[in-house]
Amino acid sequence: MDRNTITGFLLIFAMVIVYQLYFVPAPQELAEDQAQTVSTPETPSLVSDFRATEVANVLDSTYTSKLTKLRSDVLEVEITTDGGTPIRATLQDGYLDFWNRQPIQLWTEGGSDMNFVARGEVSYDQSFDVVSQSESEVVLANRGDGPLKTLTYTIDGYLVDVQAAFEDARGEVGFQWQADGAHNEKGIDVERQKSSIYFREQGRGRDYLYEGRDDSADIEDPVEWVAFKQNYFSAIVGTDAGFTSGTLRSLPPTESADTLITMRYGMDVRMPTVDRDGREVADLRFYFGPNDVSELNATGWGEIGRVIDFGWWIFGWINRNVIFPIYAFLAQYMGSAGLIILVLTIAIKSILFPITWKNYVSSAKMRLLKPDMEEINTKYPNQEDAMQRQQETMKLYRESGVNPLAGCIPQLIQMPLLYAMFRFFPANIELRGKSFLWADDLGAYDSILDLPFEIPFYGAHVSGFTVLMAGSMFVYMGQTMAQQAAPTQPGMPDMRIMARIMPLFMLFFFNKFASGLSLYYFIANLITIGQVTTVKKFFINEDKIREKIKAKQAEPKEEKKKSGFAARLEAMQKEQQQKAEEMKRQRDQSRKSRNQKRKK
């Protein structure tokens, strides 16, 4: 477990570094009045400037704009008769923002604008009358003579269906939407890191713009849905007909006053209409709600569950198909998210225990061979002897019945799961707002001490679970490296030093991460420490292992027929050794020649 364990952790650490460098923007400071409601400057248009015009087609001076509301048991949507589009979406399902403890709003006040475009005319500068209204449906009729005639909104749960009826739209209309994502979580820098636009192109699958960065994309194939995605909530629009062309863009705010905006989203797309009841109709479906797997899948859109960023490649597959189902099952019977993490961690570590066992046995064998390996290093101390030293080492392994890869392979098996858990906890909305011990939100960082100043790369708080995680990692690293000797070969790093430094790095990197993640790693470290201690004390007899190694070494050496790979490897080693010896001979001859010339 020794060196291979450290290597595994270093690889995970490297992946975190790469993620931070290439996928996370530099953090932006919060304003002192972050928790208070402040006015935000008008959002500059991301894709087209349709906000500059005023409502122009008012039929008489008695007209005044109105707000009408749609309600379901989980969502309230406000629609203005100026332009006929939603201006506010408020969740009514118990989710609250962190700062004011008010129901979640998906965009800032006045921070969303939608617009239909037909024959060059925009709906934003048109006014509408409310023709009919109920709690779940509202019908708006255009007061003017533009191509857009009626808008029908129907709400069901988190879904809002829209029918936009046109006259002479010529088979295609435009749809524009721009919104300022509202800051609802504990840390706006992490919240911005998780904000982006996700979309699904037919024939290409789910795609996305870079999270937390200024990025854009041109639509090449029909797009089924577009999500203005934040870490735990999303505003999504989709159509069965597909958005056929257009532009998507995400833009993080740059002004220091924009402390309530996570991301500025924009889309400017085209979509076909269908003939219905003598008019051309464009059908849209909106989803305003949490990034919850079951709720997202209920929309019927393809791959919509992948708006939740559980990770790429095999890491995402593990989280979606293994970890999340186990977590959801436990949540049915356990009310405490902290206890669920505890049970989940115990289950995972129990499944991985055979790997821990295999790893420790391999570590014990390698440790018992240390005197023999040091003897080989003493016999071949020079860099020129590296090939002979390697051959003697491999011979020692072979004669002792030790596989040097036996400890490495188990670590490689564990790595996908280790990184999958790193992505699972910060993306799991089931942890949002759930308290455990001193942590008031396992979906955000915990704080046992608020600092009066900001520490670069660390923050202005001390995360208790991160301190426990780093401390347990320090003990674990010390346990695995306790019997490791300093490197005897030139150029080899001292793994003991790395083992002492890495917990300090983790202390900095995890301070702003979800406390549920640090809690998981803390529990996992404690269990591993207990497993290793138990295995070492009660199940591993190093004297018996030493006897087996000596018995193996004492066996008569039979020349076995080598496999093709082994034969080629040995041939390559001999060739490299011959080249090294030839280079050494040439250097010695050259040195001797120079010395003779100096004597003359």
Q: What is the pLDDT of residues 304-351, one digit of tens each?
A: 999 999 988 888 899 999 999 999 999 999 989 999 999 999 998 888
Structural element, H or E, at residue 201: strand 196-201
**pLDDT value of residue 64:** 76
Q: For CA atoms 444, 447, 452, 456, give the dihedral sign.
A: negative
221 to each of 161, 200, 207, 217, how far by Cα in Å? 23, 9, 12, 12
Q: Which of 35-39, 278-282, 353-357, 579-583 has the lowest mean pLDDT?
A: 35-39
> Where are any strands of DSSP class E within 84-158?
86-91, 107-118, 121-122, 128-133, 137-142, 148-156
| pLDDT tens-place string over residues 523-553 | 999 998 888 888 777 777 666 766 766 666 6
**pLDDT value of residue 557:** 60
**pLDDT value of residue 39:** 36
**pLDDT value of residue 366:** 73
Note if the pTM is more than 0.95.
no
| pLDDT tens-place string over residues 242-301 | 999 999 999 988 765 557 889 999 999 999 999 988 889 999 999 999 999 999 999 989
554 to each of 58, 376, 396, 401, 549, how far by Cα in Å? 101, 18, 12, 11, 9
Give 71 or 390, the one with higher predicted confidence. 71
Which whole number is the average pLDDT over 456-481?
88
Which whole number is the average pLDDT over 224-228?
96
Give 477 or 484, the one with higher predicted confidence. 477
Instruction: Take residue 105 and report the two structure tokens written for it.
Output: 């709003």
**pLDDT value of residue 597:** 65
Radius of gyration of the chain (CA): 32
Which whole number is the average pLDDT over 138-142?
92
**pLDDT value of residue 111:** 86
| pLDDT tens-place string over residues 199-215 | 999 878 899 998 888 99
| Predicted confidence (pLDDT) at residue 47 exceeds the cutoff of 50 | no
Q: What is the mean pLDDT of the chain?
A: 80
Give, rounded to a whole angstrom, the gap between the first and last alpha carbons of the chain.
Answer: 59
**pLDDT value of residue 361:** 75
The whole-angstrom separation of Cα 75 and Cα 308 is: 20
Query: In this structure, are residues 270 and 172 in contact, taking their beta carbons and an 8 Å threshold?
Result: yes
Q: Distance from CA of residue 80 to its chain's centroid?
A: 37
Give 495 or 515, the one with higher predicted confidence. 515
**pLDDT value of residue 569:** 59
| pLDDT tens-place string over residues 419-432 | 888 899 989 999 99
Which whole number is the average pLDDT over 211-223?
90
| Predicted confidence (pLDDT) at residue 77 exceeds the cutoff of 70 | yes
| Predicted confidence (pLDDT) at residue 29 exceeds the cutoff of 50 | no
Give 380 or 228, the one with higher predicted confidence. 228
**pLDDT value of residue 535:** 79
Q: Distance from CA of residue 362 to its chain's centroid?
A: 33
Which whole number is the average pLDDT over 575-581?
70
The whole-angstrom separation of Cα 148 and Cα 169 is: 8
**pLDDT value of residue 388:** 73
- Name the band, by pLDDT with cuts 50, 70 and 90, for residue 14: low
Structural element, H or E, at residue 337: helix 337-351
Query: In this structure, are residues 407 and 4 in contact, taking their beta carbons and an 8 Å threshold?
Result: yes
Which whole number is the average pLDDT over 72-96?
92
The whole-angstrom separation of Cα 97 and Cα 104 is: 5
List, in sequence order, the alpha helices (H) in 132-289: 188-193
| Predicted confidence (pLDDT) at residue 241 exceeds the cutoff of 80 | yes
Query: In this structure, are residues 288 and 158 in contact, taking their beta carbons and an 8 Å threshold?
Result: yes
- Name the band, by pLDDT with cuts 50, 70 and 90, for residue 577: low
Query: Residue 370: what residue type?
Result: K
**pLDDT value of residue 351:** 86
**pLDDT value of residue 58:** 40
